[in-house]
Amino acid sequence: MNSLALILSILILSFVVTSITIIPFIDLLYKLKFQRAKQETRDAFGALTPIFNKFHKIKAGVPVGGGFLVITVVSALFFILMPMVNYFGVDITSNYGAIKEEVNILFFTFLSFGMLGLYDDVKKFFKFEQKGLFGLRLKHKLIFEIILSFIIAVMLYYNLGISILNIPFVGTFQLGIFYIPFATFTIVSFANAINITDGLDGLAAGSLMISLFGLWFLSSAILDIPISIFLALLIGSMISFLYFNVYPARIFMGDVGSLAFGATLAVIGLLLGKIIALIVISFIFVIEISSSLIQLLSKKFLKKKLFPAAPIHLSLQKYGWEEPKIVQRAWLLQIMLTIFGVWLAVL
């Protein structure tokens, strides 16, 4: 069996396993009452967000935590299947030759950010912060994200020796020790970008799935088998999840998914050495987090809003765009951005 056939088989297997388990998982979330509650949402400054609350009140009661199932399926299948790859006649090669280190970094990111997101989901939905138990405020959450991202950046720099930045049409730059803060910032940014984008049914999951296909193509082109297998598992599981996440959603990924997927997306871009291409491939997420950041800075320093609402998809809703229309057009834009980003990467 050639490597492409094997990886496609793995994608199909991941899709089937997730499809079999997701309905019982949704039922379990209902039993645990792990659902989006009817509550007033506030921004980073503690002010009410009336536009968000208006358009999202109908989502109350939908189970949250789909990312946990995806993480579980992908992790379990990876560690079951990875030792069997040689049996199918496929050599395990990687971009750096340090397969164990590469896998350790990949799954440390995937699982650590997933655990942080799961804790944040649990404390919100079981209202631990209202009882004075283990409250995790926004600034504390950001501190934990920075610590985890710094650890990952150090592992990338010291364990794999990654320290360069390639900019298409310009050249390759040796960042040296400054690669660590650069990678830390990149991971934190992408983790929060997907978290912010996950506001409309299917928006984050669909856009992410398209981005992952682009990275999968790049990893396959350089024969990085561990990353290719991981991405195949994640894509297969995400396709099944997206079936239940499109409008009207029956399940949301929650912070457990958005933080894990965003941080892992960034790390894969760093591992492939294609971070500029990743920015293009994931530009929907860049737009979303940039609009939120600009809005926050404007409210703080200019004492006014630059957008009717942030992130940008909320402004489109306020302008009268229906939710499915926003999501579907975002997917179409994401397809072209992914094609353009892959083109940049292979120049």
Nearest Cα to Cα of residue 305 among 40, 51, 41, 57: 51
Q: Is residue 4 over pLDDT 90? A: no
For residue 105, CA distances in Å to 41, 49, 217, 232 come to 35, 37, 20, 18
Residue 136, beta-bridge partner list? none
294 pLDDT band (50/70/90 cuts)?
Answer: very high
Q: Which residues touch 258 (CB under 8 Å, ≥6 apart)?
A: 67, 117, 191, 194, 195, 197, 198, 204
Q: How far apart are CA 341 and CA 337, in angstroms?
A: 6
Strands (E), the chain: 164-167, 171-174
pTM of the predicted model, to two decimals? Answer: 0.93
pLDDT digits (tens, 9 = 90+) for 174-219: 999 999 999 999 999 999 999 999 989 999 999 999 999 999 999 9
3-state DSSP assignment of residue 54: helix
Nearest Cα to Cα of residue 210 among 309, 339, 303: 339
Q: Is residue 134 over pLDDT 80? A: no
| Over residues 114-133, mean pLDDT | 74
User: How many structural domains does the chain have?
Assistant: 1
In this predicted structure, what is the pLDDT of residue 109?
A: 98
| Over residues 9-38, mean pLDDT | 92
| Over residues 249-259, mean pLDDT | 95
Q: How far apart are CA 80 and CA 71, in angstroms?
A: 14
Residue 225 is part of which domain span?
A: 3-346
| Over residues 123-145, mean pLDDT | 67
Mean pLDDT, rounded, of the chain: 90
pLDDT over 70 percentage in the chain? 90
30 pLDDT band (50/70/90 cuts)?
Answer: very high
Supply 169's token pair: 């049409």
| Over residues 161-182, mean pLDDT | 93
3-state DSSP assignment of residue 79: helix
Q: How far apart are CA 335 and CA 167, in angstroms?
A: 22
Supply 4's token pair: 């492409």
Query: Which range among 65-79, 129-143, 240-254, 273-287 shows the weakest confidence by mean pLDDT?
Result: 129-143
Parallel, antiparallel or unpaired: strands 171-174 and 164-167: antiparallel
In this predicted structure, what is the pLDDT of residue 301?
A: 85
Report angle CA 26, 30, 35 to the nearest 5 degrees.
Answer: 100
In this predicted structure, what is the pLDDT of residue 330?
A: 97
In this predicted structure, what is the pLDDT of residue 247?
A: 93
131 pLDDT band (50/70/90 cuts)?
Answer: very low
- DSSP, residue by residue, 312-345: HHHHHHHTT--HHHHHHHHHHHHHHHHHHHHHHH
Q: Is residue 275 over pLDDT 90? A: yes
Length of the chain: 347
- DSSP, residue by residue, 98-155: -HHHHHHHHHHHHHHHHHHHHHHHHHHHTTGGGGTSS---HHHHHHHHHHHHHHHHHI
Q: Is residue 307 over pLDDT 60? A: yes
In this predicted structure, what is the pLDDT of residue 39?
A: 53
Residue 174, beta-bridge partner list? 164
pLDDT digits (tens, 9 = 90+) for 34-93: 886 665 555 554 555 666 667 667 788 899 999 999 999 999 999 999 988 888 888 888
Query: Which range among 90-94, 172-176, 236-240, 333-337 shows the weakest confidence by mean pLDDT?
Result: 90-94
